[in-house]
Structure 1
Amino acid sequence: MEESRISRTQALMLVISSITVTGHLLFIPVILNHASRDSWLSLLCAAVPALLAAYLTARLSQRFPGQSPVEYARTILGRWLGSAVSALFIFYLFHDATLSIRGFGEFFTSAITPRTPILVYMTAIIILAGYAVRSGIEVISRTNQMFLVMIIPVGILASILTHKDKDYRNFLPVLENGLQPVLMGALTLLSLYSTFIILGMLLPFAPREGRIGRASMATMLILVVMFLGPLTGPVAIFGAERSMGLSFPSFQILRDIKVGELQRLDLLGIMLWSMGSFSKIALSLFATCLGVSQWFGLKDFRVLALPVGSLMVIVSLLHSRNFLELYSFFQSTYPYYSTFCGLLLPAFLFGVAVLRRMRVPGAPAGGGERS
């Protein structure tokens, strides 16, 4: 078992990076294609169920302190059904990692260096992630802290520098195409926020002191706010029609910034997205290896980093023939599949635990500490 310890703040920061990077690279264009100028409404619609996802993750960890979702699924449902649910959750973590690896490679080969084989980037990022996993969760969390300290000022700077180019009349008329596109955009966002469940793999390595319920929901609110600019900026700057055709809208905004001597801000964006992708993939690889070791009863999950990481690269290559197929998967299948695994399944586990009044010895009564 991992001996490193991290704070709850570090765990929550890892989740922020994980969701933010994946969302900006892969989900923003999908949401814009669904809802276009009404994407901000999709964000509002997704906020409440997203908070529910954070609440469920926190409450389950409070009822079963020291256990990951892989472990407390067995505690709640029994050996056989619990093992099946745990296996599904491990696959969810594994598959989410493969999508992030493929998205990272597609970003570089589509937007930056189209002549470089995608396998080069995918292999490089998984080698770094594998080394980080073998070094421990503390290394991943500290590296991630440096990334977050940099990305927030860059986001604020980009918003300020592009303010003069924004035309908010592009958001009119509201609900031109009805509610269905807005709801599809909201479901896509919710499927992204449902990956918050990965926090459950980190909390066993964090101290139990503190109000994890409130902290988790506050973190989700931060994540909602962090997507407001990336969803509204492309529409305000490029217009509804053009923003729907951009593969990487946030990157295009950075690439177009030119203020006096301040140019090529996209290079800073490339660096930050690379660091963020490392944090995301390393976290997903860590969680997958930990889950597999818990499912099979292995003592050390670090030995799984190389074989599991290699398998992730292979699956990410076979997943889609090109970026359009990957994009189509995020647009059609992923929203339902991710929402089921990351929101509905935890809700089911929590419901069963409450009805059966289940908690491990030492867990506070009432479902957890003060939240």
Structure 2
Amino acid sequence: MKPIRLSAWQFHLMTQVYVIGTAFILLPGPIISSAKQYGWVVVLWATLYGLVLAFGYLYLAKLYPGKTLVEIALQAFGKWVGGFISLLYIIFFIQIASWVTRELGDFMHINLMPRTPISFFHIMILLVSAYAVSKGIESIALVNELLVPYLYLAFWVPIVIMLREWNWRYFHVSYPFQLSDVIIQTRFVLAFPFMETVAFLMFIPFVQGKVKIPFITGIAFSGLMLTGCVFISIGVLGVYRGQKLVYPIFSIFREMRFTGFIEHLEAILAVNIVLVVCIKLCILFYCAVSGVCQLFKIEKRNIVIYPMVWIISAYSLLFMNIVELLDWVKNYLFEYYSLFAVAFPALFIVAAKWRTTGRLMKKNGSA
């Protein structure tokens, strides 16, 4: 396979779109339900947590220069244990990709085409993603770079105009607020989407130039955007209504009217959602395929890509509906993601330090 090259700017934009992904349509409702009018503060401290993780991943990449996450696991723990951990990461990427697929499928089934079987949406988006992955991560990065200006303009211009419906009184409604309870109930925000950035350890070795600033600023900027989404949802819809909606931002777009004949602007947001989620799915799909190829020494990606479509599609039907999926996310996602986003990377760092210390002791002993 030819060498992969990503520019720092492409990596930065990929980080932004990946973190924003499905979070900007799914997170506002559960966050407002748990933290009421202080939901935007929850996203801010989750962003700080995401930045701490990002510095940890950059340090890990520095300890294993030129190695992807799968290769790091193999080098840290050897062929068998490292191979098993690598396989777990591949399954992890497949799981996230399947959840992203299901989230997009549910969104389109509920809001756009309720009579169309949800499996149709899954196969359709996965085949498009499979084609993109077959062309390589550089092609995905170029398409993402082309789409980002449109995505931001088409989202923020209508949102700014909708601010005429803003009501500051929504932030002064009296709701019971216990800090410890809110931290426990909103721990899922730390996992989704910030712990998912561990996937970028599959791309850091291929970035040309400095990777630290693009990665950190990408997470910070997307965190601020998610904060803005929650803040705007509260200010326009209110706490009582916002916490009862599955897609608060989509509801805001649906109710927009600029003139007597310009309405139903939710179609613009629907296009945005499909594009953003598709890019995130392509990144995760590529991570899973690349991980399999690296672990099992497979030269041709296409051998893995198209069977992966059916695996992800089948796994996406694990949950009955979006409510069941969100309930699982709120109750169990943080603990599950902690294994892959915190525990394993910490073990890799310890293994690198231990190996370096042993090498120095051996060198000093022989001297």
The TM-score with structure 2 as length reference comes to 0.91
Matches within 5 A, 1:204-353: 204-207=205-208, 209-210=209-210, 212-260=211-259, 261-317=261-317, 319-353=318-352
Look up the SS of the partner of 1:257 in the other structure: coil
**What is the CA-CA distance between 1:50 and the residue it aligns to?**
0.8
CA distance in 2, matches of 1:286, 1:198: 10
Match of 2:123 in 1: 123
Match of 1:366 in 2: none
Matches within 5 A, 1:1-371: 1=1, 3-172=3-172, 176-184=176-184, 186-191=186-191, 192-207=193-208, 209-210=209-210, 212-260=211-259, 261-317=261-317, 319-357=318-356
| Aligned CA distance change for structure 1 residues 340 and 33 (closer, same or farther; 3 Å) | farther
**What is the CA-CA distance between 1:182 and the residue it aligns to?**
2.9
Could you tell me which amino acid in structure 2 is paired with residue 249 of structure 1?
P
Could you tell me which amino acid in structure 1 is paired with residue 206 of structure 2?
F
* Conservation of the 8 A alpha-carbon contact between 1:257 and 1:264: yes
Cα deviations by residue, 1:31-59 (Å, 9 ceiling, x for unpaired): 22222222112112213221111112222
Could you tell me which amino acid in structure 2 is paired with residue 199 of structure 1?
F
**What is the CA-CA distance between 1:83 and the residue it aligns to?**
2.0
**What is the CA-CA distance between 1:297 and the residue it aligns to?**
1.9
Look up the SS of the partner of 1:162 in the other structure: helix
CA distance in 1, matches of 2:350, 2:170: 44
| Aligned CA distance change for structure 1 residues 2 and 98 (closer, same or farther; 3 Å) | farther
Look up the SS of the partner of 1:270 in the other structure: helix
CA distance in 1, matches of 2:135, 2:43: 37
| Aligned CA distance change for structure 1 residues 205 and 299 (closer, same or farther; 3 Å) | same
CA distance in 2, matches of 1:3, 1:352: 28
CA distance in 1, matches of 2:21, 2:346: 26
Moved over 4 A (4+): none
| Aligned CA distance change for structure 1 residues 77 and 251 (closer, same or farther; 3 Å) | same
CA distance in 2, matches of 1:89, 1:175: 41
* Conservation of the 8 A alpha-carbon contact between 1:93 and 1:284: yes
CA distance in 2, matches of 1:354, 1:187: 30
* Conservation of the 8 A alpha-carbon contact between 1:39 and 1:182: no
CA distance in 2, matches of 1:351, 1:170: 48
Could you tell me which amino acid in structure 2 is paired with residue 220 of structure 1?
I
**What is the CA-CA distance between 1:90 and the residue it aligns to?**
1.4
Deviates more, 1:307-316 or 1:30-39: 30-39
Match of 1:364 in 2: none
Aligned length in residues: 355
CA distance in 2, matches of 1:49, 1:174: 28
* Conservation of the 8 A alpha-carbon contact between 2:29 and 2:248: yes
Deviates more, 1:325-334 or 1:347-356: 347-356
CA distance in 2, matches of 1:67, 1:175: 49
Cα deviations by residue, 1:298-354 (Å, 9 ceiling, x for unpaired): 22233211001211001101x111222112111211222123312343233224323
Deviates more, 1:16-25 or 1:278-287: 16-25
Look up the SS of the partner of 1:241 in the other structure: helix
Could you tell me which amino acid in structure 1 is paired with residue 198 of structure 2?
I
Could you tell me which amino acid in structure 2 is paired with residue 243 of structure 1?
G
| Aligned CA distance change for structure 1 residues 357 and 30 (closer, same or farther; 3 Å) | farther
CA distance in 1, matches of 2:207, 2:300: 19
Identity across the alignment (%) = 22
Could you tell me which amino acid in structure 2 is paired with residue 100 of structure 1?
V
CA-atom RMSD in angstroms: 2.0
Look up the SS of the partner of 2:268 in the other structure: helix
**What is the CA-CA distance between 1:355 and the residue it aligns to?**
4.4
| Aligned CA distance change for structure 1 residues 176 and 338 (closer, same or farther; 3 Å) | same
Larger radius of gyration: 2
CA distance in 2, matches of 1:161, 1:354: 53
Could you tell me which amino acid in structure 2 is paired with residue 190 of structure 1?
L
| Aligned CA distance change for structure 1 residues 205 and 214 (closer, same or farther; 3 Å) | closer
**What is the CA-CA distance between 1:217 and the residue it aligns to?**
1.6
Deviates more, 1:127-136 or 1:30-39: 30-39
**What is the CA-CA distance between 1:195 and the residue it aligns to?**
0.9
CA distance in 1, matches of 2:76, 2:103: 35
CA distance in 1, matches of 2:16, 2:166: 27
